[in-house]
Chain A
Amino acid sequence: MIQTSLKIALIVVLLIYLLCILRAVKRKNMRINYLIFWSVMGIILIIALLAPNFIENASNFLGFGLPINMIFSIAIFIILYLIFDLTKLITKEQNKNVLLIQEISLLKKRVEELENKNTKKSED
């Protein structure tokens, strides 16, 4: 069983964490999409802390040797999923970046050419 003092400390940390998420969203540093994911994670952790029986029952039901094993397994899967999702996202952003660099570079060339033409005309 977790000691009460540790429990309180953890809950305080989690609450601060939730506040951080809200602040990030407010400052437009995070999309609503991710807000839901991260706050659900925080809420689940708070529930786990407040109702340890629920965790124990669930882990017994699923056949884990220790409740902590279940928590670690779930955490690892969630992290794997997140990294996978981020890898996809990075690839998508990379492709967009390539497109932008190409188009801007071509546009710059055209602008320069047009400018040169104009200066020549005005000289004539």
Chain B
Amino acid sequence: MMKILLIIPSYNEEENILKVYNQIKKSNHKIDYVFVNDGSTDNSLKIFKKNNLNYVNLIHNLGIGGAVQTGYKYAYENGYDIAVQFDGDGQHDINYLEKICDPVIQGQADMVIGTRYLKKEESKFQSTFMRRLGSDIISFFIRICCRKKITDPTSGFRAVNRKVIKEFAEDYPTEYPEPESAVSLLVNKYKIDEVPVSMNEREGGVSSIRLWKSVDYMIKVVLAIIIDSISLRRRK
């Protein structure tokens, strides 16, 4: 039996914490979870304490990358075989857990990314045209730099095996974590698979990528991908 951990980064998500938690409990999956409270300024911490949830409380806000890495460190220290990144804002659907873990359990892939774009009818939330365009541009550059197509490089719904947990616990890109971590795995010859998942529209909270920031974001992500694909390659 493989030990699976859900890593749920959470920043000012007081309305969503219990929703996500109940979703996990309802789904009857026998899995552990850990919330990473990324220095929330709302009542998140009280909610975690009151309901006796399993959480790590970061003593200062780190951003999504630093919070997720804390989750990977926790997974590594506690001997989990598989870690699944799961958003704390109710965007992801726990029912896809098996689908996303299966290729990792079978050993077909080191990381599986749940993508919104693989099958049209699968996802209710295909996201806006601009988001799609952004993903395509990032995807294009990853393909050039790593010769591998990742359709949804910014998806935060992903499962990884023990080897990658260790890798991420030691070193995780904190600036643009989703695309950069994919690149860092690809250049080191890890195998990444994608499975189609359905995502919900965000329920409250503020998306971490705002529209007016997106151009700036795109330029930096592309730059990061190019730099990572050169610098993260380890000499063997």
B56 contacts A106, C-beta separation under 8 Å: yes
A109 to B73, CA, bound (A): 13
Q: For chain A residues 67-124, which have a beta carbon within 8 Å of chain B?
A: 98, 101-106, 108-109
A102 contacts B77, C-beta separation under 8 Å: no
| Inter-chain contacts of B155 with A (CB < 8 A) | none
B174 contacts A105, C-beta separation under 8 Å: no
* Cβ of B75 to closest chain A Cβ, rounded Å: 11
A102 contacts B57, C-beta separation under 8 Å: no
A101 contacts B57, C-beta separation under 8 Å: no
A98 contacts B62, C-beta separation under 8 Å: yes
A108 contacts B73, C-beta separation under 8 Å: no
Q: For chain B residues 140-193, which have a beta carbon within 8 Å of chain A?
A: 174
| Inter-chain contacts of B77 with A (CB < 8 A) | 106
**A108/B174 contact (C-beta < 8 A), A101-B66, A102-B73 known:** no
| Inter-chain contacts of B55 with A (CB < 8 A) | 109
**On chain A, which size bracket covers the interface?**
under 10
A92 to B57, CA, bound (A): 24
| Inter-chain contacts of A105 with B (CB < 8 A) | 56-59, 70
Interface of B is mostly: mixed
A114 to B69, CA, bound (A): 23
B30 at the A interface (CB under 8 A):
no
B74 at the A interface (CB under 8 A):
yes
Nearest B residue to A104 via CB reads: B59
* Cβ of A109 to closest chain B Cβ, rounded Å: 5
A106 contacts B73, C-beta separation under 8 Å: yes
**A106/B174 contact (C-beta < 8 A), A98-B62, A101-B59, A101-B66 known:** no
| Inter-chain contacts of B66 with A (CB < 8 A) | 98, 101-102
**A101/B56 contact (C-beta < 8 A), A106-B70, A106-B77 known:** no
| Inter-chain contacts of B74 with A (CB < 8 A) | 106, 109
A104 to B73, CA, bound (A): 12
Nearest A residue to B70 via CB reads: A102
Q: For chain B residues 11-61, which have a beta carbon within 8 Å of chain A?
A: 55-60
Q: Which 8 A-B pairs have the closest CB atoms?
A: A102-B70, A105-B58, A98-B66, A101-B60, A109-B56, A105-B59, A105-B56, A101-B59
If A106-B56, A106-B70 are given as contacts, then 5 extra A-B residue pairs at C-beta distance below 8 Å, sorted by A number, are A102-B66, A105-B57, A105-B70, A106-B77, A109-B55
Which residues of A approach B to under 8 Å, CB–CB? 98, 101-106, 108-109
Cβ contacts A to B, 26 pairs, < 8 Å: A98-B62, A98-B66, A98-B69, A98-B174, A101-B58, A101-B59, A101-B60, A101-B62, A101-B66, A102-B62, A102-B66, A102-B69, A102-B73, A103-B73, A104-B59, A105-B59, A105-B70, A106-B56, A106-B70, A106-B74, A106-B77, A108-B57, A108-B59, A109-B56, A109-B57, A109-B74
